[in-house]
Amino acid sequence: MNDVRHVLVLPDRDAAEEAAEAVGDRFGLLEEPQLVRDALAGEDDAEDAQWLVVLTDPEARLDPKELDEFAAEWDGWHEEP
């Protein structure tokens, strides 16, 4: 069994928190998503940070296209590994 991870990139913390709450219900995840602040290279300003929602998908059952559409609801996207 592979430990597949998916990363959703969101524009701000509020969007990431909302998406993290909704993703479990939408896709029936067993594990809580992990939120990670990703400062853009060379930027110190917190306003210039993206937020990542990291999903663990041990059964590789999540569809990247569906995740991309889901993230787009918050002006984000699914990051291809």
pLDDT in tens, 41-77: 555 555 568 999 999 998 889 999 999 999 999 999 9
Neighbour-count burial for 49-73, b at 16+ CB within 10 Å, e otherwise: bbbbbebebeeeebeeeebbebbee
Reported pTM: 0.86
Q: Specify burial of residue 18 (Cβ count, 10 A radius: 0-12, 13-18, 19+).
A: middle
Q: What are the domain boundaries of the chain?
A: 4-79
| Banded pLDDT at 3 (limits 50, 70, 90) | confident
Thinking of the domain 4-79, which architecture would CATH place it in? 2-Layer Sandwich (3.30)
